[in-house]
Amino acid sequence: MDKVLIIGAGGVGKVVVHKCAQQKSVFKEIHLASRTKSKCDAISREIKSRYGVDIPTYAVDADKTAELVALINKIKPDLLINVALPYQDLTIMDACLETGTHYLDTANYEPLDEAKFEYKWQWAYQDRFKSKGLMALLGSGFDPGVTNVYCAYGQKHLFDEINKIDIVDCNGGDHGKAFATNFNPEINIREVTAKGRYWAQGQWHETNPLSVHQGFDFPAIGEREMYLMYHEEMESLAQNIKGLKQIRFWMTFGQEYLTHLRVLQNVGMTRIDEVEYEGQKIVPLKFLKALLPDPGSLGQSYEGKTCIGCVMEGLKNGQSQRKFIYNICDHAESFKETGSQAVSYTTGVPAMIGAKMMLQKKWMTPGVWNMEQMDPDPFMEALNQDGLPWQVVEWNSSIT
């Protein structure tokens, strides 16, 4: 087990290829495919000159299962790493089933015509993957991904019972642009403009978009305003963490970003339905994506750090405890190593580590799994070795 096919040559895909190429003993053959072959070729040239590794490249439309099946049958990878867009998750999972290939992604399936984040579509593949002896690892990015593994680590080592989790995500960096998103603008804006949702006392509670917020003093960054949002990892964590009574997700935004977003929303530019324009049908959000800076291009002038982690409260030996597990990642250092900023880096590194866990059979169980269902220890060890070191500290202040 040492041959991978990576699909998606965007900001995250580029980091995954770099990190896999750095570990030649694990990833003996790396293939890269995306909708636009020239993007794969540019990454392949960079990898050849930096690490001396050959990366064959291909064009594929991952919305079409038959095209994927033909490509997979030609390459015969052990594992497919899906870092295209969430819209392609199901067609790629279908192709993996048909060809007998293990599967990994970083974001859950979303239907194109509705901003809806739910695992139900992918969890429905459980029996089919299991019966074919195949594994699908869902959400192996940072959040979802590392945040799920932090919770599993808390459950295994720090607490007898975790009652409350707050996932906090801060990008304290500055890319120097008036308005840009750090990963795919379409996916990012759909996520941010959706209603907030959190889970408490066994049920989901909804809030208006970005209406609930508070300050948080982020290590290495300082005080920032963070906003309650829905985020997909809460769905599986609410089911898999024993004794959990509440889970919320918070992300920081600057005033400049929020003002631009409000204007874009007010004028209809974030709509995801088709509108008629000069005899053509266009989706405003897709058009906006074409105008905004490519997230992959932001790295050059990005300064500052990200801090993402989990504040957990619970009981250990009958005593109340509050711990914060987090990572700090520097935009400029990420760019120096991989040519990508820290948001792509913090997603691409865990995708590589998840793939490594599967290829080395440290994580290899047939079926469809979320990250917290695996043993956190080898993954946590790899985070420290592969560029995303973490810390655990006592955390005094409660998030209200």
Ligand X SMILES: NC(=O)c1ccc[n+]([C@@H]2O[C@H](COP(=O)([O-])OP(=O)(O)OC[C@H]3O[C@@H](n4cnc5c(N)ncnc54)[C@H](OP(=O)(O)O)[C@@H]3O)[C@@H](O)[C@H]2O)c1
Provide the minimum distance between the beta carbon of 12 and ligand X in the complex, in angstroms, as a whole number. Answer: 3
Are the beta carbons of 162 and 241 closer than 8 angstroms?
A: yes
Provide the minimum distance between the beta carbon of 13 and ligand X in the complex, in angstroms, as a whole number. Answer: 6
Provide the minimum distance between the beta carbon of 81 and ligand X in the complex, in angstroms, as a whole number. Answer: 11
DSSP SS3 for 244: coil
Provide the minimum distance between the beta carbon of 317 and ligand X in the complex, in angstroms, as a whole number. Answer: 33
- 157, 174, 240, 335, 346 from 298: Cα distances, Å: 38, 10, 36, 9, 15
* Cβ closest to ligand X, residue 36 vs residue 214: 36
User: Can you name the residues that pair with 199 across neighbouring β-strands?
Assistant: 204, 247
* Cβ closest to ligand X, residue 238 vs residue 313: 238
Residue 67: CA atoms inside 13 Å, Cβ hemisphere, count?
A: 13
Site string for ligand X, 18-37 (x = CB under 6 A): ----------------xxx-
Q: Is 284 an interacting residue with respect to ligand X (CB under 6 A)?
A: no
The residue behind tokens 């979303």 is 110
Provide the minimum distance between the beta carbon of 9 and ligand X in the complex, in angstroms, as a whole number. Answer: 4
For the segment 120-149, give every residue that binds ligand X (CB under 6 A).
Answer: 139, 141-145
Site string for ligand X, 293-322 (x = CB under 6 A): --xx--------------------------
Among 22, 23, 65, 88, binds ligand X (CB under 6 A): 88
| Other C-beta atoms lying within 10 Å of the C-beta of residue 205 | 13
Q: Which stretch binds ligand X (CB under 6 A): 20-28, 78-86, 151-159, 195-203?
A: 78-86
Distance of CA 323 to the CA centre of its chain: 23
Site string for ligand X, 98-117 (x = CB under 6 A): --------xx----------
Tell me which DSSP letter residue 160 carries.
Answer: S
**Using CA atoms, how far apart are residues 227 and 250, in angstroms rounded to an integer?**
5
Residues in the chain: 400
DSSP SS3 for 143: coil
Are the beta carbons of 101 and 7 closer than 8 angstroms?
A: no
Tokens of 63: 């919305």
**Using CA atoms, how far apart are residues 251 and 183, in angstroms rounded to an integer?**
14
Provide the minimum distance between the beta carbon of 201 and ligand X in the complex, in angstroms, as a whole number. Answer: 27
Q: Which stretch binds ligand X (CB under 6 A): 6-14, 95-103, 119-127, 361-369?
A: 6-14
Provide the minimum distance between the beta carbon of 389 and ligand X in the complex, in angstroms, as a whole number. Answer: 17
**Using CA atoms, how far apart are residues 23 and 16, in angstroms rounded to an integer?**
11
Provide the minimum distance between the beta carbon of 183 and ligand X in the complex, in angstroms, as a whole number. Answer: 3
The residue number whose beta carbon is nearest to ligand X equals 10
Among 47, 84, 136, 241, binds ligand X (CB under 6 A): 84
Which residue type does 273 have?
D
**Using CA atoms, how far apart are residues 191 and 126, in angstroms rounded to an integer?**
26
Among 43, 55, 62, 237, binds ligand X (CB under 6 A): 62
Q: Is 154 an interacting residue with respect to ligand X (CB under 6 A)?
A: no
User: Under the rule (CB under 6 A), what is the footprint of ligand X?
Assistant: 8-13, 34-36, 39, 60-63, 83-86, 88, 106-107, 139, 141-145, 183-184, 187, 295-296, 344, 347
